[in-house]
Amino acid sequence: MTTMSETRYTLALQEARRGFDQLAHEVSVVRDRATSILGMGGLAASFLGGLSIRDGAPVTGWTWLAVISFVALASLCVVVLWPRRFHVSQDPASMVSWAEQHKATPNQMERDLALWLGMKYDENREGVDRLGRLQSMASIAFLIEIAALILDLLTR
């Protein structure tokens, strides 16, 4: 029969693990969006940019704004897509060693693991939020690129 505290720690550990699943999903979504933005930005640059400067047309300020915007969005997307490590689990060997040295009960181990995962969640949350902000900035650069290319075409 489990005691009240054992149930509480088990639930805390389950919640900590669920938080990491959520973070992993968020990272995946942000990276997928960054990939899409990069592809759409490249397509817009090649298609609309090609229309803007066909037949030896002069390069205008709008063209340069579009180029700068594309470089910015590509750079931001590369930062988002750059491989990085998120700490999402505890080393099993460390846990076994700790349990053997300190004669920890499963309840104590669940408690400490839940607390450790909570601390790592907070650290990782900052990184995931930063990736989301960078992806948002890439989206804004994409919109500026499209607007500049359309204005370039309209003013010719």
* pLDDT per 10-residue tile (average), the chain, 156 residues: 61 88 92 97 89 79 94 97 80 79 82 87 93 97 95 88
Render pLDDT for 15-34 as a digit per residue (tens, 0 to 9): 888 988 899 899 999 999 99
Residue 55 lies in a domain: yes
What torsion do the CA atoms of 95, 101, 103, 105 make, to the nearest 10 degrees? -10
Total domains present in the chain: 1
Closest CA to 69 of 150, 146, 153, 155: 146
Residue 33 lies in a domain: yes
Residue 6 lies in a domain: no
Q: Reduced to 3 states, what is the DSSP secondary structure of residue 86?
A: coil
Residue 13 lies in a domain: no
**pTM of the complete model:** 0.79
Residue 17 lies in a domain: no
**Which residue has tokens 């340069």?**
64
| Confidence at residue 68, expressed as pLDDT on a 0 to 100 scale | 96
Residue spans of beta strands (DSSP E) within the chain: none
Residue 68 lies in a domain: yes
Residue 111 lies in a domain: yes
- Supply the range of the domain harboring residue 104: 22-154
Residue 146 lies in a domain: yes
CA-to-CA distance for 40 and 104, rounded, in angstroms? 54
